[in-house]
Amino acid sequence: MIVVMRHGASKENVDNVIKFIESKNRVAHVSQGESHTIIGAVGESDIDPREFELLDGVKEVVKISSSYKLVSRIFQHEDTLIEVNGEKFGAGHVGMIAGPCTIENEEQIEECARLMASYGVKIIRGGAFKPRTSPYSFQGLGEEGLKLIRRAADKYNLAVVSEVMEIGQIPLFEKYADMLQVGARNMQNFNLLKELSKINKPIVLKRGLSATINEWLMAAEYILSGGNRDVILCERGIRTFEVATRNTLDLCAIPVVKKLSHLPIIVDPSHGTGLRDKVEPMSLASVAAGCDGLMLEVHNKPECALCDGAQSLYPEQFNELYKKLKVLAPVVGKTF
Amino acid sequence: MIVVMRHGASKENVDNVIKFIESKNRVAHVSQGESHTIIGAVGESDIDPREFELLDGVKEVVKISSSYKLVSRIFQHEDTLIEVNGEKFGAGHVGMIAGPCTIENEEQIEECARLMASYGVKIIRGGAFKPRTSPYSFQGLGEEGLKLIRRAADKYNLAVVSEVMEIGQIPLFEKYADMLQVGARNMQNFNLLKELSKINKPIVLKRGLSATINEWLMAAEYILSGGNRDVILCERGIRTFEVATRNTLDLCAIPVVKKLSHLPIIVDPSHGTGLRDKVEPMSLASVAAGCDGLMLEVHNKPECALCDGAQSLYPEQFNELYKKLKVLAPVVGKTF
Amino acid sequence: MIVVMRHGASKENVDNVIKFIESKNRVAHVSQGESHTIIGAVGESDIDPREFELLDGVKEVVKISSSYKLVSRIFQHEDTLIEVNGEKFGAGHVGMIAGPCTIENEEQIEECARLMASYGVKIIRGGAFKPRTSPYSFQGLGEEGLKLIRRAADKYNLAVVSEVMEIGQIPLFEKYADMLQVGARNMQNFNLLKELSKINKPIVLKRGLSATINEWLMAAEYILSGGNRDVILCERGIRTFEVATRNTLDLCAIPVVKKLSHLPIIVDPSHGTGLRDKVEPMSLASVAAGCDGLMLEVHNKPECALCDGAQSLYPEQFNELYKKLKVLAPVVGKTF
Amino acid sequence: MIVVMRHGASKENVDNVIKFIESKNRVAHVSQGESHTIIGAVGESDIDPREFELLDGVKEVVKISSSYKLVSRIFQHEDTLIEVNGEKFGAGHVGMIAGPCTIENEEQIEECARLMASYGVKIIRGGAFKPRTSPYSFQGLGEEGLKLIRRAADKYNLAVVSEVMEIGQIPLFEKYADMLQVGARNMQNFNLLKELSKINKPIVLKRGLSATINEWLMAAEYILSGGNRDVILCERGIRTFEVATRNTLDLCAIPVVKKLSHLPIIVDPSHGTGLRDKVEPMSLASVAAGCDGLMLEVHNKPECALCDGAQSLYPEQFNELYKKLKVLAPVVGKTF
C-alpha cells in the first residue's frame, strides 16, 4: 500500500500516517518528492487502504493489487497445458468443448454425442443442474442427466464437462464427469472453490458477470492453493450497459490473462453473445486474439431446445465453423 | 413475448413467425398496425425471445419481464411487516441492524453488543464466515464466532443476524442466529436459496453486485416459493465504472422496489460506500427515500478491525447518526 | 506517478525504470521495501503511467490522480456561494430551479412561469435547443424559445437558466439567460467549456453519462481556469446496467464532491430517474444527503408535453414536494 | 410503442390507455391474450413510453427502438464502400489508417509519413486539436499541425484524417484533411454532426464511451440525413467496471452493426485497449470478427510521444502486424 500525501501536508500529518502504519506492524518507507510525499507500507498481511484515506493530509491511497501467487506467471513462467481425452488447452494448443446447453433426454444427448464425435470433438458439454433466474423455469434433470451424458459420451469416446452448483453435488461429478465447470454466478462461491481444490479433475472457471480480471484470478487462486493445479479460465462476457447482446464479450481479457497467468484461457461465445449468428465471428476473433480453446453450444435441433436454443449452433453450422477454425489457428501460430 | 415485424415484412414472414409460435404450443395474436405488424404470444411457460430475432422479417422481439408472483404487489397489496425482537421493518416502520463486520474475539463482540444495546439497538450483526476475495485473507471464526455472538447477544437481549455462505452451514445458523443474511455474491446461489425457503427465520437478501432489480426480486421469489415469506431485501451498491466509492449505492431502487413488491427494503450504506464518512449522509438519504431499515457497520475500535474498519462507524458516530435518524424519520412519515 | 516493481525484479530492471523517468526530466525517488521496490516520479508535467507498465520487472504503475487545482477544497477551503435572483446555492443554502423540459409556445411557458412564481420559485428552467438522440425528433424553438422564456420570466420576476449546445449560441444566451447549463453530452466538449470560462454568468455543469467524479471536476476546472468561478455541478444520473430507471442517480457523489471541492452540487432527479413518481423520494434523499440545490422538471400539463412529460411533475405535485423540502432541509442543517 | 397490461387489469384501465393513445393522434390496436392484454400504438411521430407506465393497470411499456432509416440495411441492402486515396473500407475490403496520436512537430510527422508510406499505408492519421481531460495538458498544435500533416502527406502521397472538435474548425479541415474524425466525446454533439452532414468528405464517427449501438447508429443518421452518405463507424471501446484495460473493446459490435447497417465499421484497438502489447491481438481479432478496417496509432519514437505513447506501436511492430493482417484477411474472406 502506498499513501500519497497532499501537497502542503504538514510534518505532523506525515508522522501520523507513519505511526498508523507502524501500529499495523508494518515498516513505513518515506519518499520526499518535489510536490508530494509518498509513504510505502509493504508486507504480506492485509491492510485496508481506505483506513488511510480518512487521515488528515492524505491525498490518496493506492493498494498494490491483491497478490495471487500460484496462478501468476511469475510463479510459473511456462504455460500450463491441460489435456483431457487427448484434447489440449494451453501451451500453443487450442482445445474444443461442444454440446448442448442442457441434457434434455436420452435421445437428444445421444444424438448430440454422435454428432460431436463425427466432427472430431473429444469433449462434450451438457448441463444437468441449471442455474435459472426464475424458480419456475426448468431446473435440469439432475443425477439422471449426468447418467445420460456419461452413457452417451462413453459410447462415442468423449469426455464430459458439466456444471457443478454446490458442494453436495461434487460426489456425483466425481462419478460421472471428467471436468467440472463453475458457472459465472458461482465464481465467488468461495466454499465451493475450496472443495473443488481438493479433487483430481480439471475445473473450468467461468468469469463472473461483474468480476474484474484480478478477482477472477484470485478465484482461481482458491482452487490452486488447495492443491488442484488444473484450472481453465473461461471468458463468457461481462455485464455492461449495452443491450444489443446478452453480455459484452471482453476479448481483450485473453492477452491480459496470458500476460499475468500461466493458466489456459478459453472463450464461450454462446453465452457471451446470446445469439447464434454472432457465435462464428466471435469464435474466429477469440482464436485470432490468442485464446487456448472454445466452449460452444450446439444442439441437434436448436429450435426445440429447452434452454438457450437461440444461442445454440445447428450441427452443420458448427461443422463449418470447426473447419474454419482449423484453417485460422495456424495463421496465428496455434495448433488446433 | 411480443414480436415486432419489420416495416415491409412479407406475409410469408408473418406466417412463419405464427407457425413457430404455434410449434411452441402458444396462441399467436396478430395486430396489423400502420407501419408494423405486431404478434403477441402470451402464456405461462418459458419462451426465449431470441429464437425469434433470427427469423426473417423480424425487427425486434420483446420479452414480457419474467414473472415473479409471490413477491409482487399484485399478489399482496399490503406491505409485509417483519418483526424481530421487537424491531420492525416495513409497513411504515424503519428498523435498525448494527454491529461489526466480523466477529473477532469474545471481548470485541461483547463490547460491541454492550454498546449497541446501550444505544437502543435490538438486532446485532456480525460475520462468522467471511467471503473474501483472496484465499489468504482472514476467513472468519466459523462456528466459534456464532457461539460468541449468540452469547453476547443473549447477555444484552439482542437478536443476531449473520451471513450464511452455503447449505452445509444452515444447521449452525438455525441454532445460533435469529435472521440469516445472504451476501451479494450468493444472491443467485439458487441451491442455497431453495434451502433457505424451508426454514422458519427471516432472510436478509442482499442485492448482487451486478443484479438488476428484476433478478433480485426473482431471487426473493425462490425463497417465497418454497414457503418462507419473511424476506428483507437489502440494497448495498452496484458495480459501475465510478471508482470514487467502493460501489454505487442505487437509492432509487427503494421507490422502484416499493412499487413492485410488498417486501421491506433496507439499505447497507457501509458496504454501499466503503467509507465511514459517507455512511451518515447515505443513511439519511436512504430514510428520506423511503427505505424500511438500515444495516450499519459499527466497531468498538474501527482502527483495529480485522476487516472493513474503514467503513465502520465509531460508536459515538453511530449514536449521533441514530439520533438524527429519529428526527428525520417522522418528517417523511415513518416510525423509527 | 508511482512505479511498483515486481517481487524479485532485478537491479537492472530498477535502473532501467529510473533512467526512463530521468529521460522525462523527472526525479526518481526510490524506496526499497521488504517485498517490493517502489519508485516515485513526481512533478507538474504530464507523464503517462502506461509507458512504464510495459518495462521489464514492473508490477504496476499508479497515477496520482489528475490535479484539478482551482476547484479543489485545498485551493479554497470555504464553500463557494452562488446567488442568482436571490436564490442561493452552497454554503448551507439549498436552491431551487424548476420549470418545463422544453419551451413549447408562449402560452405554455407563460403559464409555467406564473405557476413557478406563485410557489416561490425564483429561477425557471426551459430548453430552447434540445439535444435529441434522433434527428427526426423535435429540436427546440431556438432563439424564439429564448425570447419567450425571457419575456415570461421578466413578467414574474424570475431568472432564466437554459442549455447552451455550442459556441455559436453563446451570444444568444448572454442576451436572454441568467445562467447557462452545459448538458451531460457536452460535459467534455472542451472548446465549449473554454468559451464559457470567459463569460460572466454562472454555469450549471451536468455530469456526463459515463463521467467519473474526477473527470467532472476536471471539466469544471476548464471553466474556472479561464476566469469564470461560478460553476454549479449537477448530478443527473450515470449509465449502468440497470434498466428499471432511465439512469442510476449517484447520490453518494454529493458527499464525495463536497469533500473534494468547494463548488455547489445540485441534483436533477427528473433526468436522473426518468419517472415522475420517483422524483419526490429522490429529491428528499438528495437534500438529506447534503446537496446544495435541486433542478426539477415541472410542466403545466405534463401529459401534453412535447418532451419528457413522463418525468415532469404536475404543478400541484411540485408544490407538495416544495413544502416537504422546506420541512426537511433544517433537519439536516440546511437553509431552504 | 406497445403497452402490456397487467394480468387482471380492468376494462376501464384498458379503455383509459386507448383514450390516451388516441389523444396523441395514434391508432390503438388491441390484442386480447390469454393472460395479458397488449395494446399497440404505431406511427411515425415520437411518443414517450414512460407516460404510459404511470397509468393504472399497465405492466410495462415497450418502445420499438428508435428508427434510423438511412443507415439501416433495410433502406440499403448492399454494403456502402468508401474509398479514400485508393484505400477501401466495406463491401469485403479491409482498409488501414495509421499514424501518430498527435502532430508534434515537422520532423516527427514527416518521419511518420515516410514510414507509413514505406509500409504501404495510404491514409495517415494525426491529431491537431486534442480533447484533453485536463486544461493543463498539451492541447495540440491547431492549424499549424494541420499544415504540417498536409505537407508531409502530400510528399508521400498519403491522404489525411484528423479529429474535428467544433463547428468553427470545419473550414480548416475542408482545406487540409481528406477525412474528418468525430471523437468519442463528440458522438452526440448534434450541432457538429449536422454541420458535418453538409460537407463532401468522409466522416469517421467514433462510438461514444457509453453509447449503445442504437445511439451510435442514430448519430450516424444525423450525418446521412443532412446529405453526407460517407460515414465510417469506428468502435474504440466502451466504459465498464474493468480497469485492466483503458476501455473494453466491444468486438461483437462488428457483427451486430454489419447486420443492422450497410455502413463500414472499423476498429481502433489503440484507444480500445490503451496498451501497445494488446494492439496486435485485438487487431487480428477485429479482422477475424469481420471489421472493414483498422485505425492504429504508430509513432516513430513512442517513448518520446507527447500523448498516448504507451498505446502507440513501434514502426517495426506495425510492419509485422501489417504483414500478419495480410495473411489473415483472406482466411476470413476479406481483401486487405
How many contacts (CB atoms, under 8 Å) link B and C?
A: 120
Tell me: pLDDT of C45 over 70.
no
Judged by CB atoms closer than 8 Å, whether chains meet at C243 and A243 is answered as yes
B285 contacts on C by Cβ (under 8 Å) = 251, 285-286, 288-289
Question: What confidence tens digit (pLDDT) does each residue in D260-276 have?
Answer: 999 999 999 999 999 89
Binned at pLDDT 50, 70 and 90, residue A33 comes out as low
**Which whole-number Å values give the CA distances from D111 to A33, B307, D99, D140, D310, in the listed order?**
37, 56, 10, 18, 19
Q: What is the 3-state secondary structure (H, E, C) of chain D?
A: CEEEECCCCCHHHHHHHHHHHHHCCCEEEEEECCCCEEEEEECCCCCCCHHHHCCCCEEEEECCCCCCCCCECCCCCCCCCEEECCEEEECCECEEEEECCECCCHHHHHHHHHHHHHHCCCEEECECCCCCCCCCCCCCCCHHHHHHHHHHHHHCCCEEEEECCCHHHHHHHHHHCCEEEECHHHCCCHHHHHHHCCCCCCEEEECCCCCCHHHHHHHHHHHHHCCCCCEEEEECCECCCCCCCCCECCCCHHHHHHHHECCCEEECHHHHHCCHHHHHHHHHHHHHCCCCEEEEEECCCHHHCCCCHHHCECHHHHHHHHHHHHHHHHHCCCEC
Q: Does B31 touch chain D (CB under 8 A)?
A: yes
Question: What confidence tens digit (pLDDT) does each residue in A153-163 have?
Answer: 999 999 999 99
D249 contacts on A by Cβ (under 8 Å) = 250-252
Binned at pLDDT 50, 70 and 90, residue B34 comes out as low
Q: Does C311 touch chain D (CB under 8 A)?
A: yes
B53 Cα to chain D: minimum distance (Å): 12
A251 contacts on D by Cβ (under 8 Å) = 249, 251, 282, 285
Residues for chain A: how many in total?
A: 336
The Cα B150–Cα B152 span in angstroms is 6
Judged by CB atoms closer than 8 Å, whether chains meet at C285 and B281 is answered as no
Nearest to A29 among C31, C239, C243 (CB): C31
Chain mean pLDDT for chain C: 91
Q: Could you report how far apart the first and last alpha carbons of chain C are, in Å?
A: 43
Q: Considering only alpha carbons, which residue of chain C is nearest residue D139? A: C190
Is 0.95 exceeded by the ipTM?
no
C279 contacts on B by Cβ (under 8 Å) = none
Q: Which residues pair with D88 in a beta bridge?
A: D83
CA A248 to chain centre: 15
Judged by CB atoms closer than 8 Å, whether chains meet at D252 and A252 is answered as no
- Write the DSSP string, A122-183: -EEE-BSS---SSTTS----THHHHHHHHHHHHHTT-EEEEE--SGGGHHHHHHH-SEEEE-
**Percent of chain A's residues with pLDDT above 70:** 96
Q: Does B75 touch chain D (CB under 8 A)?
A: no
Q: Does A248 touch chain D (CB under 8 A)?
A: yes
Q: Report the residue of D215, D251, D259, D336 to disrupt the A interface, i.e. the one with the largest count of A CBs within 10 Å.
A: D251
Question: What confidence tens digit (pLDDT) does each residue in B106-145 have?
Answer: 999 999 999 999 999 999 999 999 888 888 888 899 999 9
A38 contacts on C by Cβ (under 8 Å) = 2, 29, 31, 38, 40, 42
Question: What confidence tens digit (pLDDT) does each residue in B163-180 have?
Answer: 999 999 999 999 999 999
Tell me: pLDDT of C42 over 70.
no
pLDDT at B161: 98
Q: Does C22 touch chain D (CB under 8 A)?
A: no
Q: Does C309 touch chain D (CB under 8 A)?
A: yes
Q: Which residue in the block uniquely carries the three cell numbers 418483526?
A: B83
Q: Considering only alpha carbons, which residue of chain A is nearest residue B214? A: A133
The Cα D298–Cα D292 span in angstroms is 19
The Cα B2–Cα B61 span in angstroms is 6
More confident residue, D323 or A304: D323
A33 contacts on C by Cβ (under 8 Å) = 27, 29, 40, 42
Tell me: pLDDT of C283 over 90.
yes
Q: Does D46 touch chain B (CB under 8 A)?
A: no
D242 contacts on A by Cβ (under 8 Å) = 212-213, 238, 250, 253
B335 Cα to chain A: minimum distance (Å): 33
* Contact present, A248 and A228 (Cβ < 8 Å): no
pLDDT at A30: 80
Torsion of CA D249, D255, D260, D261, to 10 degrees: 80
Q: Report the residue of B1, B51, B301 to disrupt the A interface, i.e. the one with the largest count of A CBs within 10 Å.
A: B51
Helix (H) or strand (E) holding B61: strand B58-62
Q: Which of B29-43, C251-265, D298-312 has the lowest mean pLDDT?
A: B29-43
Binned at pLDDT 50, 70 and 90, residue A293 comes out as very high
Q: Which of A192-196, B87-91, C128-132, C262-266 has the lowest mean pLDDT?
A: C128-132
Q: Considering only alpha carbons, which residue of chain D is nearest residue C188? A: D185
pLDDT at D67: 74
Q: Does D243 touch chain B (CB under 8 A)?
A: yes
Tell me: pLDDT of B204 over 70.
yes
Question: What confidence tens digit (pLDDT) does each residue in A303-330 have?
Answer: 878 777 788 999 999 999 999 999 999 9
Question: What confidence tens digit (pLDDT) does each residue in D122-170 have?
Answer: 999 999 998 888 888 888 999 999 999 999 999 999 999 999 999 999 9
Residue of B224, B248, B229, B230 lying closest to B238 (CA atoms): B248
Judged by CB atoms closer than 8 Å, whether chains meet at A31 and C40 is answered as yes
Q: Which of A120-124, C22-26, C183-187 has the lowest mean pLDDT?
A: C22-26
* Contact present, D98 and D295 (Cβ < 8 Å): yes
Q: Which chains touch A (3 or more CB pairs under 8 A)?
A: B, C, D
Q: Considering only alpha carbons, which residue of chain D is nearest residue C46? A: D137
Q: Does C287 touch chain B (CB under 8 A)?
A: yes
Judged by CB atoms closer than 8 Å, whether chains meet at A62 and C62 is answered as yes
Q: Which residue in the block uniquely carries the three cell numbers 465549449?
A: C192
Question: What confidence tens digit (pLDDT) does each residue in B47-66 have?
Answer: 677 777 778 888 877 766 65
Q: What is the mean pLDDT of residues C231-238?
A: 98
Q: Considering only alpha carbons, which residue of chain A is nearest residue C29? A: A31
pLDDT at C66: 59
Domains of chain D, first to last? 2-62 (3.30.70.1140), 82-331 (3.20.20.70)
Tell me: pLDDT of C219 over 70.
yes
pLDDT at A64: 66
More confident residue, B311 or B36: B311
Nearest to D245 among A214, A252, A285 (CB): A252
* Contact present, B331 and B90 (Cβ < 8 Å): no
Q: Which of B126-130, C258-262, C306-310, D8-12 has the lowest mean pLDDT?
A: C306-310
Chain mean pLDDT for chain D: 91
Nearest to D2 among B35, B62, B243 (CB): B62
Q: Considering only alpha carbons, which residue of chain C is nearest residue D310? A: C51
